[in-house]
Chain A
Amino acid sequence: MKRTASQRKHTPGEIQVWLCAAGLACGLLMIAGLLLLIFGNGVVVFWPKPISEFTVRSADGSESKISGELVKTQLRRTAEGGTKAEIQLFTGNKDAYGLGFRFIDKEAILSESRPEGLMLAERMEYGDALFHPVQLKRKDGATLPASAPEFQGTLQQRLDEGNRLRSRLLHLEKGRIGKINARIKAMELRIKELLAGGKSGTGPEVSALRDRIAREQKGFDTLVAESRQMRARLEEDELTVRLSTGEERTLKTGSIVYCYEPNRLSLIGKLGVFLHHVIEFATSEPREANTEGGIFPAIFGTFVMTILLALLVTPFGVIAAIYLREYASQGLLVRIVRICVNNLAGVPSIVFGVFGLGFFVYGMGAFIDGGTRIPLPPMWWFPVAIAFLVCLTGSILLAVQSPPAGAESENRRGFGTRLKPIVATLTVFLGVLTLFQCPYFHGFFSSSLPTPTFGTGGILWASLTLALMTLPVVIVATEEALAAVPRGVREAALACGASKWQTIQRVVLPSALPGVMTGVILAMARGAGEVAPLMITGVVKLAPSLPLDFEAPFIHAERKFMHLGFHIYDLGFQSPDSEAAKPMVFATTLLLILLVVVLNLAAISLRAHLRRKYQASAF
């Protein structure tokens, strides 16, 4: 008798399991590879590398010296068809050499050494300088040769002084001078308004303002003089250096930010330099077209934008989901709305960007700035406004008169319920029309036109655009969370005499909260990394000020901002010196990932806290 398959002693192994496992392994490997690549490349940037001095024979037979940091070795195809090894050197001294990098044929290298006295200086301009220090020259002419024992200490002291001076200068120029500037501008605007309002140019109000401007101007002038003096002091001390090529140059100590001798560093010294670099990267402002310095404004901008996005998207998404899941009768219409919402999640983000630009920036922004450009004539506007008021009253009446939700019995459900969404939509539509077409509103910032205030990209519009983009994520997650709240607790709440809204608010929402948080986390993660829509709604390469500072009104929703994602794009593809920017690309990417991780961890721990508090169901 033949054994059938089910009688066999050993069932055959299932090959599909291996396929699944292999798929998973591939996925994990790719993720791990991505993280390792970014982490490796990103961290290496900050680690100080040794600097070599090469003696090179040039084509005409003469010998020359050049020093630099080895970037990579590669093979080059020669004209004859063979290959030649060459090295890429980071030579620094862009001001002297014209370029920061150089390729040298390996054949041409006669010797290589690592002189301990070689010094690397990070400067405000022209990037790093590599040199042998010669002497320090003070403004009174006194000189201190590099061989003197106190040379290092004195140099460091000069540098510290310069750094302190620079930060004071920044405070003076950005803070105090900026404030006076803003005050003067505000008063000038006021004068413009007064003149436009028919006041005479010699009237008491205007001349009082003019006097105040003159007084402010005097204060302004003294401050400017002070800053000029400080700048001059930065120029006073000079460091004479000799480049490896033999050329002697002088550097102003005031232009050097940080300097060290890479070949003399011990491990601990290297670690110190590394930490210094990391801290500088995370906390200072960019220099030299973003290729040098830190990226603090971009970190801050991304952070503020993401928080704003979460704050904007959560209420809208939750309210929409509550209506869809709890109130709307589950018919064809709701099904269509749900499909639309889900499809919205698949729309390319740049489309949202264009919408944001058209609607938020050019529509709402321009409206806030200067009112409607082509208002309805009053004879049309008034009927619209009246229709709006009628609808508003209607919807309020509907809300009040209809039986409290949850009490709708079979014989009461009917006309009013069907009507509600229609009336609500009509009310909103007419309300928007009434507001936006009002012929009597001329904007909050009309006096500063044609310079736009809100009518141009800004952090508020960018966040709103991203909030719209991530809305489906929150809606879907919230709907799921609401659906997962057990029927029993809802019925219990109703049986206790709670109205439907009380039930939702006190019982359903708290137990759905962890699920809602999941949606918000996903939305934040998606929003924080998005670049395309931001580029047209408010991100800039270099923002003059942060969107949040200590100047009233503290939150400057109209300001443009910097963003890590855009910063990466800008560094990698828009930078004048892409070689110099390359390491920064990885470092910035690393930071972007870190920021997203930190934001998500914060949200996740908040969710865990909520879950512990309302441990109802697990999502």
Chain B
Amino acid sequence: MPPESATPDSSAVSSSAPAAPLDPAFIEVDHFNFWYGTKHAIQDITMEIPERQITAFIGPSGCGKTTLLRNLNRLNDLIENIRHEGDIRIDGQSLYDPSSEVISLRKRVGMVFQKYNPFPKTIYENVVFSLRVAGRNHKAELDEVAERSLRGAALWDEVKDKLHESAYGLSGGQQQRLCIARAIANRPQILLMDEPCAALDPVATLKIEALMTQLKEEFTIVIVTHNMQQAGRVSDRTAYFYMGRLIEYGPTMQLLSNPREKATQDYVSGRYG
């Protein structure tokens, strides 16, 4: 664990009044710009994301939420013709520092995708994948991690009898929870969730929300959502993006009920577009 863990538990603070002092930043986005070819997808965004809290990204479709999220673990590097300016720092260290390694970064930053994407493997192998690629192959350890992660993702009871069957035999919601289990298996510090409930029914959504509240004891969570109620239910802080810009960012209660900006007001009250 990084030295930041010594700071006072911030989750307690966030639920207090809107005027609470700013929590110490864990992820710092510093005048960050990003281009897909000539498309300026992220325009000069500066924000600080605190540790062990849930931060929600909201905004209309195509405003750059996913793009920013995928920059936090540098998954956008895979795309051709991209370019960035500015900097992102996690725990004080720049992601773009030549000495920082992408693979070790991604080991610290787990990700759950908008569309669930389990591997064509057994449930068990899906969960322990990140350990296997890290070269950890002890059966006992893997078994323990698999059980802990699956319990963490509220999936254990449903799959404990068919761990060695194909992951494709699960329902959509179960597959998404499997992906969450996979993302938390190697105990990352940060968990990025891109609309984790977009494909789920209300029951599964509630399960996953409960799960997030529980997971934030350990992880710093960034979640992208289109669902304002969800943002209100689970997140501590919310950021509203529009056309690649960060319009407003603050404690969720304040942003949803009493936004400073007119645009935010329109969006959260459903008058957008």
- Collect the chain B residues with CB atoms within 8 Å of residue A346's CB: none
Chain A residues with Cβ below 8 Å from B216 are: none
Chain B residue with the shortest CB-CB distance to A409: B77
Interface segment among A133-141, A273-281, A349-357, A502-510: the answer is A502-510
Which of A403, A492, A613 counts the most B-chain CB atoms under 10 A from its CB?
A492
The chain B residue with its CB closest to the CB of A510 is B120
Which 8 A-B residue pairings sit nearest by Cβ, starting from the closest? A488-B117, A407-B102, A616-B120, A497-B107, A614-B120, A496-B130, A495-B111, A498-B133
A residues whose Cβ falls under 8 Å from a Cβ of B: 403-404, 406-412, 486, 488-489, 491-499, 502, 506-507, 510-511, 613-616
Contact flag A615-B82 (CB < 8 Å), given A491-B113, A497-B186: no
Q: Does B168 contact A (CB under 8 A)?
A: yes
Are A409 and B74 CB-contacts (below 8 A) given A495-B111, A510-B120? Answer: yes
Q: How far is the CB of B146 from chain A (nearest CB, A)?
A: 14
Interchain CA distance A488-B179 in the complex, whole Å: 12
> Which listed residue, A407, A410, A615, touches B120 by the CB 8 Å rule?
A615
CA distance A492 to B113 in the complex (A): 8
Q: Which of B84, B104, B119, B166 contacts A492 (CB 8 A)?
A: B119
Whole-angstrom distance between the alpha carbons of A406 and B118 in the complex? Answer: 20
Query: Within 8 Å of chain A (Cβ to Cβ): is B115?
Result: yes
Q: State whether A406 and B78 are in contact (beta carbons under 8 Å apart), knowing that A492-B179, A494-B106 are contacts in the complex.
A: yes
Given A409-B102, A496-B106, A496-B182, the answer on whether A491 and B78 have CB atoms closer than 8 Å is yes
**Residue on B with the closest CB to A412?**
B98
Across chains A and B, the number of contacting residue pairs, with CB separation under 8 Å, is 99
Complex CA gap A616/B169 in Å reads 11
Chain B residues closer than 8 Å to A497, beta-carbon distance: 103-104, 106-107, 130, 133-134, 186
Q: Is there contact, CB below 8 Å, between A502 and B133?
A: yes
Is the Cβ of B102 less than 8 Å from the Cβ of A404? yes
Question: When chains A and B are docked, how far (Å) is the Cα of A511 from the Cα of B117?
Answer: 13
Q: Is the CB of A496 within 8 A of B129?
A: yes
Tell me which of B75, B103, B109, B134 contacts A491 (CB under 8 A): B75
Taking the closest CB of chain B, its distance from the CB of A347, in whole angstroms, is 33
Q: Is residue B110 contacting chain A, with contact meaning CB distance below 8 A?
A: yes
Interchain residue pairs with CB less than 8 A apart (14): A403-B101, A403-B102, A407-B77, A407-B101, A410-B83, A488-B113, A491-B75, A492-B111, A492-B113, A492-B117, A497-B107, A506-B133, A613-B166, A616-B168
Query: How many B residues face the partner with a CB closer than 8 A?
Result: 37
The answer to the question of B233 belonging to the interface, with a C-beta cut-off of 8 Å to chain A, is: no
State whether A495 and B166 are in contact (beta carbons under 8 Å apart), knowing that A506-B133, A614-B120 are contacts in the complex: no
Given the known A-B contacts A492-B113, A507-B119, are A410 and B84 also in contact in the complex, defined by CB atoms under 8 Å?
A: yes
Distance between Cα atoms of A214 and B181 in the complex (Å): 76
* Closest beta carbon of chain A to B86's beta carbon, Å: 13
Residues of B within 8 A of A507 (CB): 119-121
Which listed residue (A403, A409, A410, A493) contacts B119, Cβ 8 A?
A: A493
Question: Which A residue's beta carbon lies closest to that of B107?
Answer: A497
A residues in contact with B101, CB < 8 Å: 403-404, 407
Q: How far apart are the CA atoms of A489 and B182 in the complex, in Å?
A: 12
A489 to B109, CA, bound (A): 17
For residue B74, which residues in chain A have a CB less than 8 angstroms away from its CB? 407, 409
Tell me which of B73, B110, B120 has the highest count of chain A C-beta atoms within 10 A of its own C-beta: B120
Q: How far is the CB of B151 from chain A (nearest CB, A)?
A: 19
User: In whole angstroms, what is the CA distance A491 to B106 when docked?
Assistant: 11
What are the residues of chain B within 8 A of A613 when measuring CB–CB?
Answer: 166
Q: Report B-chain residues with C-beta under 8 Å of the C-beta of A615.
A: 120, 166, 168
In whole angstroms, how far apart are the Cα atoms of A511 and B102 in the complex?
25
A221 CB → nearest B CB, Å: 62
**CB of B90, distance to nearest CB on chain A (Å):** 15
Q: Is A486 within 8 A of B168, CB to CB?
A: no
- Give Cα A182 to B186, complex, Å: 62
A residues within 8 A CB of B115?
488
Q: Which residues of A contact B272 (CB under 8 A)?
A: none
Instruction: Name the contact of B78 in the complex, choosing from A486, A489, A494, A499 (C-beta under 8 A).
Output: A494
Interface: B160 (CB within 8 A): no
**A494-B75, A497-B130 known; A404+B103 contact, CB < 8 A:** yes
From the candidates A410, A486, A493, A616, name the one contacting B129 in the complex (CB within 8 A): A493
